[in-house]
Structure 1
Amino acid sequence: MAWPRSAGPLELRPPTSADLDGVLAWRNRPEVTRWLLRTTVDPEAFRRAWLDSVADPEQQAVVAVLDGLVIGTGSLEIRDGMGQFDGDAWRRAEGLLGYLVDPAHAGNGHATRIAGALLDVAFIELGLHRVTAGCFADNVASWRVMEKLGMRREQHGVQDSWHAELGWVDGYTYGILADEWAPTSATASVPVPGSS
């Protein structure tokens, strides 16, 4: 993968320990954890997991930097699709997309840029067949990002998700196929010249 890369005003790159200190400054805040499955995280375990992901070929984990400040994260977990054991087209054919933005920078299209750049990586560079993402149904900002990117709502799970504050709530799963992905100038990512 060619990192860093630009996504609009953002620079996306693998995280460093110092970057993760910046993420941890806002990651465990209640306004962030309200819509996450993993609410608060242990800082050392969080840092270790993200730094370990840098060398893992099944993971594409990035931080989003704006004017020198880490304002978001993105992840693409590569996994096997579903398929019969005759052949192996389904192996490493799918991705699970995740994104998170510091609330101080929300509402500016940054989540869409992060997710769009990772869809570029998934389909253009890794040749994946399909990418999915999920969220609580009440997390309107998250599913709007998915819909802006052309992802379709494939599942509406009725009370399929436990929320510590709200109890059993509905969840959504979105998906998009490689031949459906059409990056726009707002979502396309561009490797930064001179990067590896």
Structure 2
Amino acid sequence: MFTGIIETLGTVTDLRKDRGNLHIHIASSISDELKIDQSISHNGACLTVVSLSPGVHTVTAIEETLKRTNLADLAIGDRVNLERCTPVNGRLDGHIVQGHVDQVAQCLSVEPQNGSWVYTFRYKPETNNLTVEKGSVTVNGISLTVVDSLADRFSVAIIPYTYEHTNMQQIKTGDAVNIEFDIIGKYVARILALRS
């Protein structure tokens, strides 16, 4: 389990295709602290560390993960949001995040707001995912509060600290981002759908 509080940024150093899989090599300040078989959130997708070298760790995204996330769009030099799992006795500073990306959303706009930024994203509502104003949503692994919520889109406000310490600063109109909707909201929506 994760909290959506990004620990550090990693940089993609190499990408290797292996049939339907993609091996992603990432240099980061925490790579030397990781262990093989450890679960790490990469742009919100929980991936397993499969190999280590000095200052670099490698994870493998399988075909299902590549279809559901923006990881297939990665290029060498891209920055990736990283978060290690939350310890059982740790603080839940963000919200409950599973590291299971629900879908990719498209950035519709980035609007500077006198020291902050408002990002608007569009997603496919037919998947029965939803957002609520002042509820939680995860964008590229970042726990964020929904500002505006519509049937197929939502907006979030980004403070300078988040902008500077995550890859939000790289996101521009038209870009794809990984979205994980709030787990409690997903269960409620599922229960209501089954009762209909």
Give the TM-score normalised by structure 2. 0.29
Where is the helix percentage greater, Structure 1 or Structure 2? 1
Give the TM-score normalised by structure 1. 0.29
Where is the strand percentage greater, Structure 1 or Structure 2? 2
